[in-house]
């Protein structure tokens, strides 16, 4: 995992946007302690030592902030994990941030993704907040998990981040021992149905579940488009050639009838016939397993339980 580089600590004047009564009042300037760090755009950023109004521009960062006891003050529309987070004011979608909504929250720290938000750098800085860019590809080996330690180091909550990560790895070990290993499963792929089959990369939240459960993802990490999204195009022919032990099919909605019909379509499709005849198995992964809709620990349990039910 890449370490957060802390250059020095300096006491400075930051705008702490506190409004006593009306929205027309000017923000009160309060002296706060800051530390200077290097973000993933190689910028020196002075961030508050104890930020009070943090805005995260991705769902994963939002949930990680909750995990290390720093509740955010706004949400991205994709976030569906907790009622507390869903009730927050919206700043738009991760890929379409509403800058005015960000300004309205008067943040003292904004955590943005270099993958999605680097073009918004100047606009975000005009909020008056410190703006830190992280790179999902540089967070750690299993980014959705290691993000908690990464942010813990950045925001002086390292102990909280490590405790959370240790609990995730402990749960994963138990699920491997109790469910995965007895089934004799070694390789897998997670796919989405659509105009073309797409498969989850190991670095994605879905792909991370495979790695945590001790399963080898057949999808390599260097495919075209790998740096732009969690899923990449992956042909049926390639999957059949590699013949993973399990093909997880991601449910596209909460409609149980529709999901069952999709699973049956795969089972009876001529292209997949030899896969099941040669011992391959399809496992439908419930819609709730979406990383924007549940926690990492629940994703692990849901994935392992889906394997168990299919046995």
For 156-173, the pLDDT digits (tens) are 999 999 999 999 999 999
**Residue 175 is encoded by which pair of tokens?**
């699920």
Are 35 and 138 in a shared domain? yes
In-domain check, residue 163: no
Are 300 and 265 in a shared domain? yes
Find out whether 130 and 32 touch, Cβ atoms under 8 Å: no
* Range in 62-71, 147-156, 218-227 with the lowest mean pLDDT: 218-227
The single residue listed with the structure tokens 């907040």 is 129
Are 37 and 118 in a shared domain? yes
Are 137 and 187 in a shared domain? no
In-domain check, residue 260: yes
Exposure class string for 54-85: b at 16+ Cβ within 10 A, else e: bbbbbbbbbbbbbbbebebbbbbbbbbbbeeb
Per the structure, the complete domain to which residue 202 belongs is given by 168-310
Q: Tens digits of per-residue pLDDT, 79-107?
A: 999 999 999 999 999 999 999 999 999 99
Exposure class string for 134-171: b at 16+ Cβ within 10 A, else e: bbbeebbebbbbbbbbbbbbbbebbebbeebbeebeeb
Tally of structural domains, the chain? 2
Quote the CA–CA distance of 53 and 31 in Å, as a whole number: 15
Last residue of a domain, one of 117, 138, 158: 158
pLDDT of residue 225: 54
Are 151 and 197 in a shared domain? no
pLDDT of residue 249: 94
Whole-structure pTM value: 0.83
* Range in 20-24, 109-113, 210-214, 266-270 with the lowest mean pLDDT: 20-24
**Residue 10 is encoded by which pair of tokens?**
């300096």
CATH code, domain carrying 65: 3.40.50.1980
Last residue of a domain, one of 101, 131, 158: 158
């Amino acid at each position: 995992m890449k370490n957060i580089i802390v250059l020095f600590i300096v006491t400075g004047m930051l705008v702490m946007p506190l409004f006593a009564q009306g929205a027309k009042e000017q923000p009160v300037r309060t002296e706060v302690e800051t530390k200077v760090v290097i973000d993933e755009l190689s910028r020196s950023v002075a961030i508050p030592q104890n930020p009070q109004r943090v805005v995260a521009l991705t769902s994963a960062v939002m949930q990680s902030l909750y995990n290390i006891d720093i509740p955010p003050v706004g949400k991205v529309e994709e976030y569906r994990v907790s009622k507390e987070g869903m009730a927050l004011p919206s700043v738009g979608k991760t890929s379409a941030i509403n800058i005015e909504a960000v300004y309205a929250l008067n943040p003292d720290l904004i955590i943005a993704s270099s993958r999605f938000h680097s073009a918004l750098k100047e606009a975000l800085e005009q909020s008056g907040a410190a703006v830190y860019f992280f790179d999902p590809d540089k967070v750690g080996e299993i980014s959705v998990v290691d993000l908690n330690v990464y942010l813990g180091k950045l925001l002086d909550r390292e102990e909280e981040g490590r405790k959370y990560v240790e609990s995730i790895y402990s749960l994963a070990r138990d699920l491997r021992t109790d469910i995965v290993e007895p089934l004799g499963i070694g390789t897998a792929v997670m796919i989405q149905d659509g105009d073309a089959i797409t498969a989850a990369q190991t670095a994605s939240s879905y792909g991370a579940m495979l790695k945590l459960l001790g399963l080898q993802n057949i999808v390599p990490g260097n495919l075209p488009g790998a740096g732009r999204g969690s899923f990449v195009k992956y042909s049926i022919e390639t999957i059949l050639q590699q013949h993973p032990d399990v093909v997880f099919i991601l449910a596209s909605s909460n409609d149980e009838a529709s999901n069952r019909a999709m699973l049956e379509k795969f089972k009876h499709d001529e292209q997949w016939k030899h896969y099941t005849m040669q011992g391959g198995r399809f496992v439908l992964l419930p819609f709730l397993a979406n990383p924007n809709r549940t926690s990492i620990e629940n994703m692990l349990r849901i994935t392992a339980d889906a394997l168990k039910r299919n046995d």
